[in-house]
């Protein structure tokens, strides 16, 4: 093992394993399997002379929300001060990185890499289906088919089609743009979007372009369905709440969230549903997940998923590839491929 960099692997029970590549990696790196029962044990092992005291990289692979380490937060603010000085790069599967204090790591000279675009297709497909469900109430229809056929007739004057309707995307990144393209092509929806800046090049990739709204409230006034696809930050906490729902068209607003649950004030959402300001809801993420608001859970006109938008073999394969690509790029060039913060110069 002499001369090989120590690389700590945190593996999920759900992942895609590229066996030939892992065999090659094993020749280049000392791959150490993480097997701690607690964060406290992790911290102890990183102390001088501990088994993790000389790790130069951490690679977290697969689906974080399943298996033995589902609740592990190895990149949280309170853990980072205990990292050994040798640690220089973290390569973590996943598009979002709100569970990692990437700024604190950057201040210590540690590259943090996510896997952007790796799960775009899987999550965008989920969002596109949720958009349709908020118009057609297919979750309720399935309940009727399984239990009481006659109740499905209640949908007669409620269900609608999304064709020609205005779709508002919050966050026109990889996933948001993919959702926009799919909904435009499949449903014939007109695309609007909100974000920190206009994206003319992204607009050009849509057959009929898109309308940019610098102010979220202005977009809400004109759209029929809104999809949250932006990163979760302190600025996006409860970005949809009572004031926003009150701006809905008289025909009502459909709400889809495939980003993070805390971006919606769920109590305000329930109130808006009672007032018919919100007339369709599709949620893959929840404010207190794995808990689900019981008032939402018991309403079959609402479509609920257990944060499985990413759940696809294509996503696991892309996670595997990009995580190892980042690791190898760092050790070969001194810079990984998809760092959240560029440590090589001013951002």
- Catalytically annotated residue among 60, 95, 254, 260: 260
Q: Are 6-118+313-333 and 120-304 in the same CATH fold?
A: yes
Exposed/middle/buried for 166, CB within 10 Å: 0-12, 13-18, 19+?
Answer: middle
Between CA 138 and CA 144 the distance in angstroms is 10
User: What class, spelled out in words, does domain 6-118+313-333 have in CATH?
Assistant: alpha beta
pLDDT band at 241 (very low <50, low <70, confident <90, very high): very high
**Is there a catalytic annotation at residue 260?**
yes
| Per-residue pLDDT at 338 exceeds 90 | yes
Check if 286 is active-site.
no
Task: Supply the mean pLDDT for the chain.
Answer: 96
**Considering just the CA atoms, what is the radius of gyration of the chain in Å?**
22
The pTM for the full model equals 0.90
What is the average per-residue pLDDT within 226-255?
97
Euclidean distance between CA atoms 287 and 304, whole angstroms: 12
289 in catalytic set: yes
The predicted pLDDT at position 340 comes to 95
Neighbours of 306 (CB within 10 A): 14
- Name the residue ranges covered by the structural domains of the chain: 6-118+313-333, 120-304
Q: Determine how β-strand 278-283 pairs with β-strand 302-304.
A: parallel
Count Cβ atoms below 10 Å from residue 182 Cβ, excluding itself: 18
CATH architecture observed for domain 120-304:
3-Layer(aba) Sandwich (3.40)
Model confidence at 34: pLDDT above 80: yes
pLDDT for res 65? 87
Residue 267's pLDDT band, with cuts at 50, 70 and 90, is: very high
pLDDT of residue 345: 65
The answer to whether residue 52 scores a pLDDT higher than 90 is: yes
Average pLDDT rounded to a whole number, residues 129-135: 98
Mean predicted confidence (pLDDT) in 130-158: 96
Residue 347: the pLDDT is 46
> What is the rounded average pLDDT of the residues 268-292?
97
DSSP 8-class letter at 284: S
Q: Determine which one of 45, 266, 307, 320 is catalytic.
A: 307
Alpha helices in the chain (DSSP H): 19-28, 39-45, 102-107, 120-136, 138-147, 174-187, 200-204, 216-220, 242-245, 266-274, 294-297, 313-333
pLDDT at 96 over 80: yes
| Mean pLDDT to the nearest integer, 86-114 | 95
Choose the catalytic residue: 11, 136, 289, 341.
289
Helix axes of 313-333 and 19-28: crossing angle, nearest 10 degrees: 20
């Amino acid at each position: 093992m002499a001369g090989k960099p120590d690389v700590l692997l945190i593996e999920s029970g759900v992942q895609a394993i590229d066996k030939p590549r892992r065999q090659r990696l094993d020749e280049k790196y000392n791959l150490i399997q993480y097997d701690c029962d607690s964060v406290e044990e992790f911290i102890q092992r990183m102390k001088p002379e501990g088994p993790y005291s000389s790790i130069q990289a951490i690679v977290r692979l697969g689906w974080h929300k399943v298996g033995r380490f589902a609740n592990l937060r190895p990149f949280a603010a309170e853990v980072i001060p205990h990292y050994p000085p040798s640690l220089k790069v973290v390569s973590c599967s996943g598009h979002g990185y709100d569970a990692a204090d990437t700024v604190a790591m950057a201040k210590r000279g540690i590259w943090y890499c996510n896997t952007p675009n790796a799960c775009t297709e899987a999550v965008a497909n989920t969002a596109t289906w949720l958009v349709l469900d908020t118009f057609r109430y297919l979750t309720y229809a399935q309940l009727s088919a399984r239990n009481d056929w006659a109740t499905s007739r209640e949908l007669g004057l409620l269900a609608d089609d999304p064709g020609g309707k205005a779709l508002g995307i919050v966050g026109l990144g990889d996933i948001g743009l993919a959702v926009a393209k799919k909904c435009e092509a499949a449903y014939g929806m007109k695309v609007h979007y909100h974000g920190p800046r206009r994206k003319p090049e992204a607009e050009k990739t849509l057959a009929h372009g898109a309308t940019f709204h610098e102010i979220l409230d202005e977009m809400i006034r004109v759209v029929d369905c809104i999809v949250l696809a932006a990163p979760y930050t302190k600025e996006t906490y409860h970005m949809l709440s009572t004031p926003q729902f009150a701006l809905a068209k008289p025909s009502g607003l459909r709400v889809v969230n495939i980003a993070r649950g805390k971006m919606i004030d769920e109590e305000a959402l329930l109130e808006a549903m009672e007032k018919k300001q919100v007339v369709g809801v599709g949620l893959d993420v929840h404010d207190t997940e794995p808990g689900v608001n019981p008032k939402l859970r018991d309403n079959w006109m609402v479509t609920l998923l257990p944060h499985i938008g990413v759940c696809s073999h294509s996503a696991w394969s892309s996670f595997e590839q990009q995580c190892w690509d980042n690791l190898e790029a760092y050790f070969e060039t001194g810079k990984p491929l998809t760092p959240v913060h560029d440590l090589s110069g001013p951002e």
